[in-house]
Structure 1
């Protein structure tokens, strides 16, 4: 009887050698928080597993003058708690800190969350908002850089070839005028899978005007996507109750456009209002809305 075999590369060179032999029955694993479920769901009984957990070369968070670089094998706990990530990519830190339980965050990796490409993957929305780039290694030793939307296909699939592996995530550093936030809604208050998630990145001028805005939504389509309706109502506006109401209307309309015939539409039309409030509060502070909401 054929069984799964496991390869355990210890460095990038050994990983390259393993990728050379990759075929349709090759699977890259790291935290295995999603793969173990897939093994049972799809009855995977035969294949070559490449275990990336022994490669210390892809476990790091480095800050340069222009970006934050995160190794593919970095666990979500380290991302959520990292000082540089919290300072420059706050939305990603918030997303990483909300995925699953403590045990899952201590095993799951950022590359695994990306490559698994679930429509509700929490790190993908902030990474898209920040226009993250991925370094991908193939079995010929070639490393190419791709945008995250060029790798994530959605609905549990990606555009990576069998002999390709993500080895690094690079996120641009924006100046102190940029603010970011992440929020999610699920069936429970913790240890929950997103029924909706969102990430926003905005630039605030010295006159408190929103000069730039990026808004991405997850769990409304096969992959996270830009919500241009919400971006439009934020641009060139001063944060306040009037803008917040327009923001809510834009997100509700986006739900109607994204899932017009889905039974969950009515729930998500209401649910996204709570998500909108949480995003707005995290971006601009409690006082922006507190007085108006009381």
Structure 2
């Protein structure tokens, strides 16, 4: 077994191009995710690469390096539209997991119940990807996640950052999670919302995403359109709005329960994000 922890992106990409292996960011789910499969022969640790642990925020948007942890997100000085992402960060495992686990690792793990994904989707997140052969490209998060534990990453690529474009002024975020207990639990369902209201308290922009109710978290675009012009307290959720969701029955909850619960959860998230 080999372990390589470079301090430059060039060295990391050269190593990956030579013989692909398991990429490690926070490493909190490397062994649990393998199940009964044997451990990988090669590991590439990206946490020491220059700039990967930085959060930068400016007029053009916000960039989270691939080694930015959930604790880094909580501490970052970011506008209220990121409140949903910060709330999700506080729900990821324990404090110890939040100190080690990364945003990039969360999306690359591609679990249907990844807590960070719905909030990132409401921010129109893009995934910055690099390879030695093809350089750097950006992929919308919704296109990056292709299924359960599957992403658009090629074998010689690694995620270098998560990029958030500039957000509308006055928009706020919120996050709701339902689990069997308060902490250290995999989500039964979860909802993130980003909402902007006008001076009369009417919604003029909204983004709503639901996780753990389908193979990949889903934006509810019909609902986003239908809430425009409403006050947050007047929002209702119908079966049509939930049509993009395909929850499963498992040990955490039945599909029917998930749909019932997420409908109420969406309303709470919208009201929380829409409160001025």
Fold match by TM threshold 0.5: yes
Given that residues 187 and 212 in structure 2 are in contact (C-alpha distance below 8 angstroms), is that contact kept between their aligned partners in structure 1?
A: yes
Mapped partners of 1:272, 1:196: distance in 2: 6
Is 1:17 paired with 2:6? no
Q: C-alpha deviations, 1:71-95, integer Å up to 9, x for none?
A: 01011111022121x5342211111
Q: Please list every run of 5 or more consecutive structure 2 residues that lacks an aligned counterpart in the other structure.
A: none
Corresponding residue number in structure 1 for 2:245: 258
Q: Please list every run of 5 or more consecutive structure 1 residues that lacks an aligned counterpart in the other structure.
A: 289-294
Given that residues 209 and 220 in structure 2 are in contact (C-alpha distance below 8 angstroms), is that contact kept between their aligned partners in structure 1?
A: yes
Q: State how 1:133-172 maps to structure 2 within 5 Å.
A: 133-140=126-133, 142-172=135-165
3-state SS of paired residue (1:45)? coil
Q: C-alpha deviations, 1:123-169, integer Å up to 9, x for none?
A: 11111111111211113261111111221123111110111001111
Count residues in correspondence: 273
Given that residues 11 and 55 in structure 1 are in contact (C-alpha distance below 8 angstroms), is that contact kept between their aligned partners in structure 2?
A: yes
Given that residues 25 and 66 in structure 2 are in contact (C-alpha distance below 8 angstroms), is that contact kept between their aligned partners in structure 1?
A: no
Corresponding residue number in structure 1 for 2:108: 115
3-state SS of paired residue (2:232)? coil
Task: Flag the structure with higher helix content.
Answer: 1
Given that residues 256 and 265 in structure 1 are in contact (C-alpha distance below 8 angstroms), is that contact kept between their aligned partners in structure 2?
A: no
Mapped partners of 1:253, 1:184: distance in 2: 22
Is 1:60 paired with 2:47? no
Distance change in 2, residues 1:175/1:227 (3 Å):
closer
Rg: which structure is higher?
A: 1
In angstroms, what is the RMSD of aligned CA positions? 2.2
Q: State how 1:33-182 maps to structure 2 within 5 Å.
A: 33-39=28-34, 41-84=35-78, 87-140=80-133, 142-182=135-175
Normalising to structure 2: TM-score of the pair? 0.90
Given that residues 212 and 247 in structure 2 are in contact (C-alpha distance below 8 angstroms), is that contact kept between their aligned partners in structure 1?
A: no
Normalising to structure 1: TM-score of the pair? 0.85
Corresponding residue number in structure 1 for 2:266: 276
3-state SS of paired residue (2:260)? helix
3-state SS of paired residue (2:105)? helix
TM superposition shift of 1:266: 2.6
